[in-house]
């Protein structure tokens, strides 16, 4: 399958503003691009960091087109640094993969013999990674939400990404105890600490909006459904499933925040003792630190299954980090003597309508809910790897449409009593057994 690419540069006009987008496709060699990746909460043995992938691209350098601003022929009139880059890959089926980033001038190198220039293109979130927080940005009495807004709503960031206070909604919003702890600190480090302290995630969506939100699931959002091999309705739409695990590599049964301990004795007894320690200089109140520890313990103390799902780009199109999905990965069914009865019609004990054989040791039911914590797109073959984590917090949640408590075969008929006096009970343990008049009416 052939891949076509288009590359667009948007150079800066000055320190805080950009000019028009320029199509530079004819000057770029794209062979060096491998995959495009973005993730949240996906690094094993850690909690609460966001990561976007970086790439290298090579351009022709024989006419000054990509020269520095001192060359009058260059398209860069102010600086090559932080030039916006948009790369659109498309195939013959009309599928597209889009990568957006910023040129890092420090990593730009020229090959004088081959007349090429190599750009290191950092992901758009790098504008957060390459800035510091000015003193006084976070003021006394600020809440965590206001701290996010003050740190992210600065021109160096908003000139690249879209910022709207309405999109900043941390799960636990508390008053900052020591605002001076943010002064002159790296923006990326303090944003990650705020995300951990508020038990929240940061997402940059397809429209370049910065979104801070709870890890919780939006049950009003649409659910993307994936179907594995042997789906009885033939709805298979995945290529493969790999790296399935029970989630214990991201399970912490003991969490310490600024010396305040929260732990689950029951889960420690079942799964063992795994501790992670956080220190937040902007928190000085012990009660607040304990609440933060308890919030993180509730989120990460129970193991939640994780896996990687490989799908065609056409199937995963539009999926974004933290989106919800389900997987139906059934066991393989083989008919008995060539006849496959319809489930629910098979007669118990029938020699002609018997239950089919089932094969395999791995299955996932579509009642289990999953959320996307990493997306890797491959422009070479137009496939996507979706890293998924089971949603929920406890050992028993994280499912769609949970079964009601009344299950056939468990409820006992005859224990109700109307009025005073005594009555007999009847245990209908035998199919078809019944007793009329067991309840005594006053």
Ordered by where they begin, the domains of the chain are 3-124 (no CATH), 129-214 (3.55.50), 224-390 (no CATH), 408-442 (no CATH)
The region, left, alpha or beta by phi > 0 then psi within -120 to 50, assigned to residue 73 is: alpha
- The rounded distance, in Å, linking the Cα atoms of 412 and 426 is 8
More confident residue, 105 or 94: 105
Q: What is the DSSP string of 371-428?
A: EEEEEEEETTTTEEEEEEEE--SSSS--BSSPPPS--TTTS-TT----SSS-------
Amino acid 411: pLDDT: 44
- The rounded distance, in Å, linking the Cα atoms of 352 and 346 is 9
Least confident of 8-22, 144-158, 334-348: 334-348
Per residue in 245-272, pLDDT tens? 998 888 999 999 999 999 999 999 999 9
In our burial notation (b when 16+ CB lie closer than 10 A, e otherwise), range 112-140 reads eeeebbbbbbbbbbbbbebebbeeebbee
Per residue in 129-182, pLDDT tens? 778 999 999 999 999 999 999 999 999 899 999 999 999 999 999 999 999 999
More confident residue, 5 or 37: 5
Amino acid 418: pLDDT: 47
Amino acid 439: pLDDT: 44
Is the pLDDT at 429 greater than 80, yes or no? no
More confident residue, 1 or 417: 1
Amino acid 37: pLDDT: 76
Amino acid 389: pLDDT: 92
Is the pLDDT at 74 greater than 90, yes or no? yes
Least confident of 65-74, 286-295, 318-327: 318-327
Residue with tokens 């003991």: 254
| CA gyration radius, the chain | 28
Per residue in 197-249, pLDDT tens? 999 998 888 888 999 999 877 666 788 999 998 888 889 999 999 999 998 88
- The rounded distance, in Å, linking the Cα atoms of 2 and 384 is 17
What value does the mean pLDDT take over residues 51-71?
A: 86
Q: What is the DSSP string of 240-284?
A: EEEEEE-SGGG--SEEEETTEEEE-HHHHHHH---EEEE--TT--
Amino acid 402: pLDDT: 53
The angle, 0 to 180 degrees and rounded to 10, between the axes of the packed helices 144-152 and 187-198 is: 160
More confident residue, 386 or 424: 386
Q: For residue 436, what pLDDT band results from cuts at 50, 70 and 90?
A: very low
- The rounded distance, in Å, linking the Cα atoms of 241 and 386 is 10
Amino acid 8: pLDDT: 95
What value does the mean pLDDT take over residues 374-401?
A: 87
Q: For residue 285, what pLDDT band results from cuts at 50, 70 and 90?
A: very high
Q: For residue 332, what pLDDT band results from cuts at 50, 70 and 90?
A: confident
CA atoms within 13 A on the CB side of 62: 7
């Amino acid at each position: 399958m052939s891949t076509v690419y288009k590359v667009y540069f948007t150079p800066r006009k000055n320190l805080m503003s950009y000019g028009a987008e320029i199509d530079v496709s004819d000057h770029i060699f794209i062979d060096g691009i491998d995959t495009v990746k973005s993730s949240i909460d996906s690094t094993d043995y850690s909690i609460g960091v966001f990561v976007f992938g970086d790439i290298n691209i090579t351009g022709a350098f024989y006419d000054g087109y990509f020269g520095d601003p001192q060359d009058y022929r260059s398209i860069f009139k102010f600086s090559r640094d932080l030039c916006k880059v948009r790369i659109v890959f498309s195939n013959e089926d009309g599928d597209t993969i889009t990568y957006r980033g910023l040129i890092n001038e420090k990593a730009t190198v020229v090959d004088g013999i081959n007349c090429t220039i190599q750009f290191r293109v950092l992901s758009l979130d790098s504008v957060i990674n390459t800035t510091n927080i000015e003193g006084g940005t976070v003021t006394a009495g600020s809440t965590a939400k206001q701290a996010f807004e003050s740190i992210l709503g600065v021109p160096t960031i908003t000139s690249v990404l879209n910022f709207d206070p309405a999109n900043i909604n941390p799960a636990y919003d508390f008053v900052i105890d020591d605002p001076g702890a943010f002064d002159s600190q790296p923006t990326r480090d303090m944003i990650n600490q705020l995300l951990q302290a508020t038990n929240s995630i940061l997402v940059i969506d397809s429209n370049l909006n910065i979104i801070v939100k709870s890890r919780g699931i939006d049950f009003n959002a649409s659910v993307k459904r994936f179907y594995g091999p042997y789906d009885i309705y033939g709805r298979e739409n995945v290529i493969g499933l790999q790296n399935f695990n029970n989630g214990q590599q991201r399970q912490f049964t003991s969490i310490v925040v600024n010396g305040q301990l929260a732990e689950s004795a029951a889960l420690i007894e079942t799964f063992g003792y795994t501790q992670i320690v956080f220190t937040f200089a902007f928190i000085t109140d012990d009660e607040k630190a304990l609440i933060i520890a308890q919030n993180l313990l509730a989120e990460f103390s129970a193991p939640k299954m994780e896996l990687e799902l490989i799908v065609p780009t056409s199937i995963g199109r539009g999926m974004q980090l933290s989106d919800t999905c389900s997987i139906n990965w059934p066991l393989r069914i083989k008919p008995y003597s060539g006849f496959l009865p319809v489930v629910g019609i098979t007669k118990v004990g029938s020699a002609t309508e018997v239950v089919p054989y089932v094969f395999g040791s791995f299955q996932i039911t579509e009642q289990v809910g999953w959320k996307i914590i990493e997306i890797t797109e491959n422009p070479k073959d137009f496939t996507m790897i979706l890293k998924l984590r089971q949603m929920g917090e406890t050992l028993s949640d994280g499912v769609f449409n949970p079964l009601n408590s009344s299950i056939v075969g468990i409820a006992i008929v005859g224990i109700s009593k109307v009025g005073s006096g005594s009555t007999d009970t009847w245990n209908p343990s035998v199919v078809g057994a019944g007793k009329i008049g067991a309840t005594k009416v006053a």
